[in-house]
């Protein structure tokens, strides 16, 4: 038996980096007090979702993993609390900028960085303006509390992400997220968003967790962003799904919350083996998946 408690933090993000980091630290402490071993914060939680608009000065938000404020703040906290923390941040690596996650182990050690593979470019989710496609490949880290695979937001819509992490030995898949309203399409993507990841959990027989932000974030017209006016309502709905894809903990659309659930990773590993999914894979037949279509 190897019981691990994972937690998703759902929060609203203000315009002040220090305030957001302080709030996140308080919520991480609360999750740890409730027994969490692995704690996931939302995507780019240091500030509002700046990708809603295009402003060249926002490139200055990017910092190296060694210099990023959130990573520096959470390394000692992870060691103090004995918890694993994947920290989403805007990364600068010389002349390239990435949407990244730094994985901090329970002793405060920085295990490495994953850079977002799939970069969206949609109305008000204008990430290609800010981020280069990730060059790390999919990464699984061996932490104190199990083998953890991480995707970032848009990655969660691609079954290839989850399967690649599973093949690399992940025992759980975590997705920090910033998703909300689709003002041009005028649709509610939330149920679809959840079902996609529930499918990844069921198909790979492992827990999947997503942590999203909440709140209305608005853009006022100004010369620097071409007089754009827009808003995104982030719909929360963070969740934890078990190895069959069933949601075992779910959050509201509009409240800050902490979700927790405990899994026996050894029992899930036996179940994953007994189903034969990975025994019966035929990678030699999947050539078409690597061909541009």
Q: Which of 134, 181, 182, 129 is nearest to 161 (CA)?
A: 134
Active site residue 153: yes
| Residue of 116, 171, 217, 257 marked catalytic | 116
Residues 47 and 13 sit within 8 Å (Cβ to Cβ): yes
| Residue of 43, 46, 91, 127 marked catalytic | 43
Active site residue 256: no
**What are the backbone dihedrals phi and psi of residue 255, each rounded to the nearest 5 degrees, phi first?**
-125, 145
- Helix/strand/coil percentages in the chain, nearest 5: 30, 30, 35
Q: Which residue(s) pair with 97 in the sheet?
A: 92
- Report the C-alpha gap between 10 and 48 in whole angstroms: 14
| Residue of 23, 91, 153, 257 marked catalytic | 153
- Report the C-alpha gap between 107 and 276 in whole angstroms: 35
3-class DSSP state for residue 275?
A: helix
Residues 253 and 214 sit within 8 Å (Cβ to Cβ): yes
- Report the C-alpha gap between 188 and 72 in whole angstroms: 36
Active site residue 57: no
Residues designated as active site: 43, 116, 153
């Amino acid at each position: 038996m190897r019981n691990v408690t994972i937690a998703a933090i759902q929060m609203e993000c203000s315009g002040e980096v220090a305030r957001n980091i302080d709030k996140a630290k308080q919520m991480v402490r609360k999750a740890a007090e409730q027994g969490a071993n692995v704690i996931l914060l939302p995507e780019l939680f240091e500030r509002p979702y700046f990708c809603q608009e295009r402003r060249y000065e926002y490139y200055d938000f990017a910092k190296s993993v060694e210099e990023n404020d959130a990573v520096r703040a959470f390394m000692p906290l992870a060691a103090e609390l004995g918890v694993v923390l994947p920290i989403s941040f805007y990364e600068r690596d010389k002349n390239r900028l990435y949407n990244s996650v730094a994985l901090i182990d329970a002793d405060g050690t920085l295990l490495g960085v994953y850079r977002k593979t799939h970069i969206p470019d949609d109305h008000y989710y204008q990430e290609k303006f800010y981020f280069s496609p990730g060059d790390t490949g999919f990464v699984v880290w061996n932490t104190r509390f199990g083998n953890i695979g991480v995707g970032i937001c848009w990655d969660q819509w691609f079954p290839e992400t989850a399967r690649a992490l599973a093949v690399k030995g992940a025992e759980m898949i975590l997705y920090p997220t910033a998703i909300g309203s689709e003002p041009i399409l005028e649709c509610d993507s939330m149920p679809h968003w959840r079902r996609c990841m529930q499918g990844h959990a069921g198909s790979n027989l492992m827990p999947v967790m997503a942590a999203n932000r909440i709140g209305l974030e608005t853009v006022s017209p100004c010369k620097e962003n071409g007089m754009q006016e827009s808003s995104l309502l982030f719909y929360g709905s963070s969740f934890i799904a078990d190895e069959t894809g069933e949601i075992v903990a779910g959050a509201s659309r509009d409240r800050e919350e902490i979700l927790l659930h405990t899994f026996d990773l050894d029992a899930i590993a036996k179940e994953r083996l007994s189903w034969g999914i990975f025994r019966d894979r035929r990678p030699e037949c999947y050539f078409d998946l690597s061909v541009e279509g």
